[in-house]
Structure 1
Amino acid sequence: MSLDYILTILKPMLQGSQMTLLLFIIAIVLSIPLGFLLTLAVNSSIKLLSLLAQAYIYIMRGTPLLLQLLIICFGLPMIPGIGQYLVLDRFTAACIGFILNYAAYFAEIFRGGLLAIDKGQYEAAQVLGLNKFQTTVRVILPQMFRIAIPSLANESVTLIKDTALLYAVAVPELLHFAETAVNRDFTIVPFFIAGIIYLIMTLILTLLFKWIERRFTFE
């Protein structure tokens, strides 16, 4: 396979990678804060709010992301009466699906981080005269994030790979252009190139989280 051919198919695949990265950035930036809010809701003293948050997390984690994307993209517009108001651009619908899904996973990661903190930390903060808000902000949350970083990194790598599901809702991303080239040219080389691009993206992401983890460790 000539270098010219590789360069020819690489250009559209890199364009598709831009869509992949855009979805990843939007999803990660919005789903992590939403996941944290869900964790707060689960641990809320308001029983109804806690139950609703737990039910949401159970549903989003218990059903396939692909199914959720299909419902948002194609199912919501079919709802009688209000479906016409729920027609979304495919990329927008995909972003919503990814954000809602991954927020549930991040919520569980944060909850695990909270559970891993020794109860003695709360008692020590109380002895130092810190109120509940100060204890949460200065003592608990920094430790929770430090504990959660490895799991956040793992889930983020999964997220960047799951962006391939955009193909299922007709959003042209990396895998779409790879398969187009495969079907057109009867060669699996584009799939290998797509795999290399995914590996590069996940490598960069992994190194970034390792750097963040080191920063938290030495603080």
Structure 2
Amino acid sequence: MDISTMLAMLGQGFVVTLQIFFLTLLGSLPLGVLVALGRMSRVKPLAWLIRLYISVMRGTPLMLQMFFIYFAPYYLFGMDLSTDSKFNATIVAFIINYAAYFAEIYRSGIQSIPRGQYEAAEVLGYSRVQTFMKIVLPQVIKRILPAMGNEIITLVKDTSLAFAIGVAEMFSTAKALVASQVSMLPFVFAAVFYWVFNFIVEVVLNRIEKKLDYYHD
């Protein structure tokens, strides 16, 4: 097999990797906000339930969570497993896992805002929603961006875990090529793909951080 064919096959796997990455962010970023707010809720049963959810998501391997979500419909309801169910299970597992991590980052950022700013906003006649959206959120985004960036970069690499349940992302493709071609080149090319993608993510995050420099603590 020539190198161009090998790269084309890895490129097809990389498209699946991108799908996992972007769908995870699309689901976990807003879900993380809801989880963080639930975690800080004054309703104790809700707060404790969310704490349990976060503890389970952070305390068990993502790969195990994928296996559970993938096989649960079969063992619990006798539903047939398919290629689509593998991908769907991967996305669901990634979203609920990363939402737990993002929620704790959001929570730390929200709780770092001085109480006096809430009181000042109340005096100025802001509602709780207006206070959060116009005063708290811009500061929170700036403060949590470095931690969020670390998690997002980790997500790029974690997409390779999808191979465990047979999703044909880039690492799965590279692994199959190594076995069939008896060559380490597919792993080398895959590493370059991951590195370049992570580099692009870092550049984007750095630009966002610079745009937020106007908002000083």
Please confirm whether the aligned pair reaches a TM-score higher than 0.5, indicating the same fold: yes
Name the % identity.
Answer: 39
* Cross-structure match for 2:32: 35
Query: Take 2:127 and 2:14, find their aligned partners in 1: how far apart are those partners?
Result: 47
Q: Distance in 1 between matches of 2:189 and 2:135?
A: 46
Residue identity matched to 1:67: L
Select between 209-218 and 9-18 the one with higher mean Cα deviation.
Answer: 209-218
**1:86–1:181 Cα change, 3 Å:** closer
After superposition, the Cα gap between the structure-2 partners of 1:85 and 1:173, relative to the gap in structure 1 and judged at 3 Å, is closer
| Cα drift, residue 152 of structure 1 | 1.1
Tell me the residue number matched to 1:185.
Answer: 181
Structure 1 gaps of 5+ residues are none
- Name the CA shift for 1:164/1:186 in 2 (closer, same or farther; >3 Å): same
Aligned residue for 2:79? 84
Partner of 2:79, secondary structure, is helix
TM-score, normalised relative to structure 1: 0.91
Shift of 1:15: 0.4
Give yes or no for the alignment of 1:218 onto 2:209: no
Q: Report matched runs for 1:72-151 at 5 Å.
A: 72-79=69-76, 82-84=77-79, 89-151=85-147
Q: Distance in 2 between matches of 1:86 and 1:184?
A: 27
Unaligned runs of 5+ in 2: none
Residue in structure 1 matching 2:149, options 142, 150, 153: 153
User: Residue 76 of structure 1: CA displacement?
Assistant: 3.6
Question: For 1:45, which of 34, 42, 46 is the aligned residue?
Answer: 42
How far is the alpha carbon of 1:85 from its aligned partner? 8.1
**Following the alignment from structure 2 to structure 1, what is the Cα–Cα distance between the partners of residues 202 and 93?**
24
Partners of 1:106 and 1:32 lie apart in 2 by 7
State the Cα distance separating 1:142 from its structure 2 match. 1.4
**Pairing partner for 1:61 from 58, 63, 75:** 58
Task: After TM superposition, give the deviation of residue 86 of structure 1 in Å.
Answer: 8.6
Aligned pair count reads 214
Q: Distance in 2 between matches of 1:218 and 1:7?
A: 46
Structure 1 vs Structure 2 CA RMSD: 1.8
Q: Judging changes above 3 Å, is the alpha-carbon distance between structure 1 residues 211 and 63 closer, same or farther for their aligned structure 2 residues?
A: same
Give, as a single letter, the amino acid of the residue that structure 2 aligns with 1:181.
Answer: L
Q: Distance in 1 between matches of 2:34 and 2:12?
A: 34
2:8 alignment partner in structure 1:
11
Match for residue 168 of structure 1 among 142, 164, 171:
164
Deviation at 1:117, TM superposition (A): 1.5
Give, as a single letter, the amino acid of the residue that structure 1 aligns with 2:79: Q
Structure 1 position 166, deviation (Å): 1.0
